Amino acid sequence: MLEQTPLPPLDTFEDYEVFIQAAAPLEAAAHALIKRHALPDAPLTRFSEGTNVVFALGDALVIKIFPPFHRDQYAREAAVLHSLLGKLPLSTPEILHQGEISGWPYIIMTQLEGTLLETLWDTLSPRNKESLLAELGLLIQQVHALPTQGLEAIDSHWGQFMKHQIAGCVAHHRAHNLPEGLLAQIPAFLEEARPMLFKAHKPVILTGEYTPMNLLVKEMDGIWHLHGVIDFGDAMLGSPAYDLLGPAAFLIQGDRALMRTFLISYGYDDVSLNQSLSRYLTALLLLHQYSNLSVQVRIDGWQERVNTLNDLADLVWGF
């Protein structure tokens, strides 16, 4: 007997946002997958965050269902999770099943232990923040050192990606209410950074998402340590520095000592921490595919402290 699931062939994010407000069809789809794969009988709990539909099945499994127009995110997440498994000093989810239900791709994976860093970062001591950022810098370095064979399908083709992001940069930030004075500076600022933006790099695995919403930590002997990484739907192959933006914006928040700890741990030296690098990283911050400075620059009152994009670079990076 064929499965009957009430998932429609949605084509737009707007239709999807309306549809996912109804719990019953999504829960029915999850239960159909539980039956399909003979998964354990355990409580089904839907996570409230995220752009895709994610359920916890007990405390051991996660069911992630992607709308049809996020098929590329499904493919990226599946490819990178398979590639990373067992290759890092911390945990990443293991895919147990994957496929489609009513044309919606899905992944069933192990659920990682740990606490989301976002829930406790502001409560941590400066010393614990420093140790976590040292661990994070080393982790990103280790991911960037991994081979990329078999991941060609998620190659961003960096030069093309940069051209596309540059072409839409001013309009993108105008839509996100960046002040006109800063908008007017973007073309010249990006042109100055152009040699570094288009510098040839061996493509590495990028998550673009080393943020506290995707990092899991565990406490040992009174100190919180990195324990796991989740969410690889935006992963791609590209230039290494792109992955430094999330920690800088969401975690470091303009703290110069923490920034130095993070970047030295990643692999830079003191000589490299210079104005040229800060301008390059700020250009990448403007060009990130999800850039929204009003949300991502977590420095109190930064809009009142910045008159130029060079001021922004100095404030965010501190060198």
Q: Percentage of residues in the chain with pLDDT exceeding 70?
A: 98
Say whether pTM exceeds 0.75.
yes
Q: Tell me the residue ranges of DSSP E strands in 142-262.
A: 204-206, 215-220, 223-229, 236-238
Q: Is residue 4 domain-resident?
A: no
pLDDT, residue 276, reads: 95
Condensed to tens digits (0 to 9), the pLDDT of residues 167-201 reads 999 999 999 999 999 999 999 999 999 999 999 89
Give me the domain span that covers residue 19: 13-110
**CATH number (domain holding residue 35):** 3.30.200.20
Which residue among 110, 131, 154 closes a domain?
A: 110
**Residue 315 pLDDT > 80, yes or no?**
yes
pLDDT at 2 over 70: no
Q: Identify the residue whose tokens are 């130095």.
A: 260
Longest dimension (CA), the chain: 67
- Nearest Cα to 262, choosing from 254, 280, 279? 254
DSSP β-bridge partners for residue 27: none
In a domain, 8, yes or no: no
Q: Are residues 285 and 136 in the same domain?
A: yes
- 216 domain-assigned: yes
Report if residue 297 sits inside a domain.
yes
pLDDT at 1: 42
Is the Cβ–Cβ distance between 158 and 239 less than 8 Å? Answer: yes
Domain end among 110, 126, 152: 110
Q: Are residues 188 and 207 in the same domain?
A: yes
Whether residue 156 lies inside any domain: the answer is yes
pLDDT tier at 3, thresholds 50, 70, 90:
low
Q: Looking at the 3D structure of the chain, how many domains does it have?
A: 2
Predicted local distance difference test score (pLDDT) of residue 4: 61
**Residue 89: predicted pLDDT:** 92
Domain boundary among 55, 77, 110: 110
Which pLDDT score, from 0 to 100, does residue 230 have?
95
Q: What is the pLDDT of residue 209?
A: 81
pLDDT tens digits, one per residue of 44-77: 999 987 789 999 999 999 999 999 999 999 999 9
Percent of the chain with pLDDT over 90: 87
Q: What CATH number does the domain containing 268 carry?
A: 3.90.1200.10
**CA gap 49, 314 in Å, rounded:** 32
Q: What is the pLDDT of residue 56?
A: 97
